[in-house]
Structure 1
Amino acid sequence: MNAFRVFFEGHAAFFAVVVPIAAIAGSYFAGVRGAKIQARGGQDQASAARDAAEIAAEAQRVAALWTVRQVQVAEFIQSAREVSMSADGFYKNYSVEDQQSRRDRVSAAAKTMSLTEAEIQLIAPAAVVDASFNVARAATNAYVCALMDGPTVRARSALKRIAYGDGEHEVKRAALAAIRVLDDESSSHADRQEAVSAVPGLAEEHVLRLGDRRRGAPVRRLEERRREHQEAFKDSMAALVSAAREMLKSEEDVAPTVPEQRRRWRLRNSVASTAGSA
């Protein structure tokens, strides 16, 4: 210690110059190093911000797609059911005005069904697209069949009301005789026309419909065809609902899936926070 003190006192002028220079140099290099660390921290923060913006944008896209899919599939299902239910009404006895009103409802529902099916084809997975196609086809087939067979079923219903109603015996007997002829698939067109024309009180439109061999098929065959279309629609709708629930992850009872944060973002975010604290 004495030697060092003697050396220092003998070179006081030298140390008076060197020590301040060393202090300045140390401060300079420390500042440069700190600036580099801070700059790197700023870059990491900027990169983390970009990643966060990308994740937020992807989350919004996923949520928007989920909502659009839900809305379009629900609207398609509703319109398809409207077509099917309205079509089934053509087998029942309604006035001419009611029948026209029903046609208008079916037409509007069919347009909505066609439009939403096209939208589903653009936004939904293949399973949902195929299922919606089958539903639209089943609903359309049911409607076309109802338009063709509905008047015949209504005419047969009118004939049965006469046959089993409270009318005169002769009238009821003529109606029963007509039913037997109509149920005989070997009966000729002339026989059918003669049988139904002999029933008093049967409307002319029903006579024309039942007397036409091409359109007056036995009721049991018409009912079988009606049930087949109803079952086809029911099965196709069940398949669509199942596929749609799978697409929307309904069983999980959760919000739309949001992409997980990437590991690189978490690391960068951690580095940026450390640098900012320093």
Structure 2
Amino acid sequence: MKYFEDNPEIFAAIVAAIAILGGLLGSIIGARIQANGGRDQAAAAREAARIAAEAQRVAALWNVRQVQVAEFIRCTREAVVISQRLYEAEPDDEELRRQVHAAYQAMESKAAELILIATEKVVDAVEATLLAAEELEREAMNSGPTAHAESVFTHLYLSRDMTTARAARVAQHVLDAATGETYESRMQALRSVPGLSEKLAHELAVNSGGGNRLRWVERGGRKSDALEEKLAELVRATRTMLKSEDDVAQAPPEQRRRWWRAA
């Protein structure tokens, strides 16, 4: 200490040097801390961007799934409604048959889209629904005209006009005969029924008989019930996929605290 008292200029120089070195060291430490903070901020920004992108992807997928399943169900119900018209149409209504075919093609198109985006359980339910719908379509195509013919024939059979009712009863007896009646004999009996067209008579002569005029409608009804069961299974699987029973608002993801790293 005596030395510095005798040489104050040297002491002042040393103090100045220490101050300069301290300032440089403080700048280096500050820069280091700032750099570390910048890296943490960049990492946090990347993590936030990743979380936001994932949330957007999940939201977009949820929306697409919801829309596509709803469209598939709508197409299915529309196809069913159109196919039911076959039970009320003339046997040669080709325009209606084209509409039915187009409706089921729309179902197949929507099913193909769902296979790419839905969960496995929903895909299984979609394929089961499509199969049941195809069976209903075939039944309607094959049985619809005969069911319509039998409906018209039943109306004539119950007619208050005695001539019409009597002719229908005779024709019914011919149709119900187990053996001995040919197509020509059936057609002859049916042609005698007033109000029954040649096309409807042909349907009855080929496909009717046995005394059960409602069996075609009942078969179609069973196919329709089977389809409704598959649709119900699809709805249940879709609600699980979309988490319909969960709260709409999800809790924000847990944020990990970042501490400044030591310099």
Task: Tell me the equivalent position of 2:119.
Answer: 125
Partners of 1:31 and 1:161 in 2: CA distance: 103
Q: Is the 8 A contact 1:210 1:216 kept in 2?
A: yes
Partners of 2:180 and 2:43 in 1: CA distance: 86
Higher RCO (CA < 8 A, seq sep 6+) = 1
Task: Tell me the equivalent position of 2:134.
Answer: 140
- Give the counterpart of 1:44 among 40, 47, 60: 40
Task: Tell me the equivalent position of 2:75.
Answer: 79
Partners of 1:179 and 1:194 in 2: CA distance: 12
Paired amino acid for 1:59? A
Q: CA deviation at 1:271?
A: 4.3
Task: Tell me the equivalent position of 1:171.
Answer: 164
Q: Is the 8 A contact 1:59 1:259 kept in 2?
A: no
Q: CA deviation at 1:253?
A: 4.5
TM-score normalised to structure 1 length: 0.83
Q: Does 1:25 align with 2:21?
A: yes
Paired residues in the alignment total 259
- Give the counterpart of 1:158 among 152, 171, 184: 152
Q: Does 1:63 align with 2:62?
A: no
Q: Is the 8 A contact 1:79 1:113 kept in 2?
A: yes
Partners of 2:31 and 2:137 in 1: CA distance: 77
Q: Is the 8 A contact 1:91 1:151 kept in 2?
A: yes
Partners of 1:186 and 1:81 in 2: CA distance: 42
Cα distance change of structure 1 residues 68 and 186 upon mapping to structure 2, 3 Å threshold:
farther
Paired amino acid for 1:177? V
**What's the CA shift string for 1:107-132, capped at 9, x where partnerless?**
33223211110010000001111111
Q: CA deviation at 1:88?
A: 1.3
Task: Tell me the equivalent position of 2:208.
Answer: 216
- Give the counterpart of 1:248 among 231, 242, 251: 242
Partners of 2:9 and 2:101 in 1: CA distance: 107
Paired amino acid for 2:110? T
Q: CA deviation at 1:221?
A: 2.6
Cα distance change of structure 1 residues 93 and 164 upon mapping to structure 2, 3 Å threshold:
farther
Q: CA deviation at 1:150?
A: 1.0
**What's the CA shift string for 1:116-167, capped at 9, x where partnerless?**
1001000000111111111112222212211111111111111112121132
Q: Is the 8 A contact 1:149 1:222 kept in 2?
A: yes
- Greater mean alpha carbon deviation, residues 30-39 or residues 194-203: 194-203
**What's the CA shift string for 1:31-72, capped at 9, x where partnerless?**
111110100001111111111111111111111101111111
Paired amino acid for 1:267? R
Partners of 1:187 and 1:236 in 2: CA distance: 44
Cα distance change of structure 1 residues 181 and 31 upon mapping to structure 2, 3 Å threshold:
same
What is the RMSD computed on CA atoms of the aligned residues?
2.6
Task: State, as a whole percentage, how many aligned pairs show the same letter.
Answer: 41
Q: CA deviation at 1:228?
A: 1.2
Question: Gapped runs of 5+ residues in structure 1?
Answer: none
Partners of 2:79 and 2:195 in 1: CA distance: 33
Partners of 2:252 and 2:112 in 1: CA distance: 28
Partners of 2:122 and 2:178 in 1: CA distance: 43
TM-score normalised to structure 2 length: 0.87
Paired amino acid for 2:166? R
Partners of 1:185 and 1:78 in 2: CA distance: 44
